[in-house]
């Protein structure tokens, strides 16, 4: 139903490695995930209505409304409706693939956001955990019905001042997992990366 591909690697609230100093080469993955396809629900509904209206219009046109018009107009109408159907399918496919290939990976040092369907168009952005300034939990809206929510992370990073982890299950567990790592990174790096 509301399948979101997320995986919590560490235990929320775990103090397993909190006392150890932060190592800059520690790339142990503590969380990774991608948004649920429910973020595209509006796109699917919109293009579904357009597709239904176009198919219904084509059915009416072929049932006899188009007989009194010339062949040229008949072809224009059929091509316009066929083009609308193709565009609707491509738009839904693009929305699906864009969400499918959006991935966020959180390690003990970095947050990596990867977006893009192919390696040619893929964009990968990295942010240090110590650059995080705040966590925000916006209202879930309609995806909240399915148990999903969004986490917004504000940072000092110039490339990605706002990181939005969309439509994930159990946002609070992710925050509980990330807070000790963030606090420890801030304390250990205070001398090097002070605000």
Range of the domain at 21: 6-35+103-188
In this predicted model, what pLDDT tens digit does every residue of 77-112 receive, in sequence order? 889 988 999 999 999 999 999 999 999 999 988 999
Q: What is the mean pLDDT of residues 117-128?
A: 90
Q: Are residues 138 and 176 in the same domain?
A: yes
Check if the beta carbon of residue 177 is closer than 8 Å to that of residue 9. no
Return d(Cα 49, Cα 43) in angstroms, integer.
Answer: 10
User: Is the pLDDT confidence value at 1 over 80?
Assistant: no
User: Residue 147 — left, alpha, or beta (φ > 0 → left; ψ -120 to 50 → alpha)?
Assistant: left
Return d(Cα 18, Cα 134) in angstroms, integer.
Answer: 20
In this predicted model, what pLDDT tens digit does every residue of 12-43 receive, in sequence order? 444 444 456 556 677 889 999 999 999 999 99
Q: Are residues 177 and 114 in the same domain?
A: yes
**pLDDT value at residue 41:** 94
Q: What is the count of structural domains for the chain?
A: 2
Q: What is the mean pLDDT of residues 116-134?
A: 90
Residues 6+ apart with CB under 8 A from 114: 101, 102, 103, 104, 105, 122, 123, 124
Q: Are residues 30 and 46 in the same domain?
A: no
Return d(Cα 162, Cα 127) in angstroms, integer.
Answer: 10
Q: Are residues 47 and 18 in the same domain?
A: no
Return d(Cα 195, Cα 191) in angstroms, integer.
Answer: 10
User: Rounded to the nearest 5°, which phi and psi values hold at 124?
Assistant: -115, 125
Residues 6+ apart with CB under 8 A from 190: none
**pLDDT value at residue 111:** 94
Pick the more confident residue, 69 or 49.
Answer: 49
Q: What percent of the chain has pLDDT over 70?
A: 84
């Amino acid at each position: 139903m509301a399948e979101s591909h997320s995986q919590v690697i560490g235990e929320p609230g775990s103090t397993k490695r909190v006392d150890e100093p932060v190592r800059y080469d520690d790339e142990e993955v503590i969380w990774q995930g991608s948004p649920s396809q429910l973020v595209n629900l509006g796109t699917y509904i919109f293009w579904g209505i357009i597709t239904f209206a176009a198919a219904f219009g084509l059915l009416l046109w072929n049932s006899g409304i188009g007989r009194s018009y010339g062949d040229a107009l008949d072809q224009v109408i059929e091509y316009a409706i066929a083009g609308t159907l193709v565009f609707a399918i491509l738009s839904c496919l693009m929305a699906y693939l864009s969400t499918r290939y959006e991935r966020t990976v959180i390690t003990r040092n970095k947050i990596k956001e990867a977006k893009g369907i192919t390696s040619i168009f893929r964009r990968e952005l990295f942010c240090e955990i110590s650059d995080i300034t705040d966590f925000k939990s916006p209202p879930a809206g309609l995806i909240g019905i399915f148990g999903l929510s969004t986490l917004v992370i504000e940072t000092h990073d110039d490339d990605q001042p706002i990181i939005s982890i969309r439509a994930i299950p159990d946002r609070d567990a992710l925050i509980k997992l990330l807070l000790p790592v963030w606090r420890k990174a801030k304390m250990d790096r205070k001398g090097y990366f002070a605000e």
